[in-house]
Amino acid sequence: MTTARLKKLNASLRNSSLDAVALNPGPTLIYLTGVKFHLMERPVILLIAKDQEPALVLPELEILKVEQIPYPVQPFAYGENPSEWNAVFRNAMLALGLDGKRIGLESERMRLLEYNFIKAGAPSADFQDASEILGLLRLKKDKAEIELMRKAVKVAQAALKATIPLIKIGMTEKELAAELGIQLLRNGSDLEFPFSPIVSSGPNSANPHASPTERKLQVGDLLVIDFGATIDGYISDLTRTFAVGKVDSEYAKIHKIVQEANAAGRAAGKPGLACAEVDNSARAVIEESGYGKQFTHRTGHGIGIEGHEQPYIRGDNMQILEPGMTYTIEPGIYLPGRNGVRIEDNVVITDSGSESLSDTAREMLIVG
């Protein structure tokens, strides 16, 4: 699989203005090699030049990882003395003839640490943003990738089902997040979650990206739980909103509105449709209800081996959906200082329409 991905990248490079790409540890490097490296004080760089054997600069202590890459790679290993590292990077850049060439980087991933080493190794090179080429490489998932995401959804849903009976009035958001984390692991998630679970209640639930706090669950709260599992590097990303005991009628109302917006967004996706139209389908439900200003973010984002990737489901994105694209549908209504609602599912575009990979009940369940 990774060998085919390398060939696909080479084809993309041939059709671009770039001569090579330089990747540090992150989702794209894992995607292309199947091997995970730590992002740390010791720099790691994979250099892929057009139709050449890739080069990998890495610490000597990780040299055995080269054997795990399923295609030939030229290793350039360095020891613990940082004063010797520039020479190793220089050798790697020269081996691929990259000085004076156009080298693509991931602008959201490349750190100044690695950039300084590759710049010193190829001082005449022209460094450009390769995010578009690399993003398109991972945009459409194959059957194996979708199956891993389907498993990640199944694990996440099982974990939520096991956690719901444990929710009690008076427990803190942090305590609930810890219980959910345990259930994710017990049900089969990889150790590294896609992101730290969001558990937010009452006024905190009006913050879409809240972190769990010591706040205790109280009667009348809406409770937002946003979480996911990882299976062999592929993720799920789900959100459900619960009522803690009896809640105000307006909160039940906005939950119903968001539920309808979620359904509209899930139903809208199909090949040939622009991402903006999917966003509009969900957003129109909330706007028509009078809560448009309280829906403060895009309707969704792509998922795969990364929590946020292409395609982005927002109102100005005219990117056309194609079979194999996977994304979230997560409309919300947030009432600052009071309560908030979000309902999120994972969707894949099929040959004829779209399929929701997640099916946990979206109705407002009372907990506590």
pLDDT one-digit tens code per residue, 217-227? 999 999 999 99
Contact, 57 vs 89, CB < 8 A? yes
Q: Domains plus CATH for the chain?
A: 2-137 (3.40.350.10), 143-367 (3.90.230.10)
The conformation of residue 209, written as its DSSP 8-state character, comes to T
Report the alpha-carbon distance of residue 183 to residue 220 in Å, rounded. Answer: 26
Average pLDDT over residues 108-135: 96
Contact, 270 vs 353, CB < 8 A? yes
Average pLDDT, the chain: 97
Average pLDDT over residues 359-365: 97
pLDDT of 200 over the 90 cut: yes
pLDDT of 206 over the 80 cut: yes
Contact, 215 vs 172, CB < 8 A? yes
Paired strand residues for 48: 21
pLDDT of 277 over the 80 cut: yes
pLDDT of 303 over the 80 cut: yes
Residue 239: pLDDT band with limits 50, 70, 90: very high
Residue with tokens 């030229």: 74
What pLDDT is attached to residue 3?
A: 92
Residue 2: pLDDT band with limits 50, 70, 90: confident
Can you tell me whether residue 46 is helix, strand or coil? strand
Report the alpha-carbon distance of residue 128 to residue 16 in Å, rounded. Answer: 12
pLDDT of 177 over the 90 cut: yes
pLDDT one-digit tens code per residue, 64-113? 999 999 999 999 999 999 999 999 999 999 999 999 999 999 999 999 99
pLDDT one-digit tens code per residue, 245-259? 999 999 999 999 999
Average pLDDT over residues 299-322: 97
Average pLDDT over residues 299-307: 96
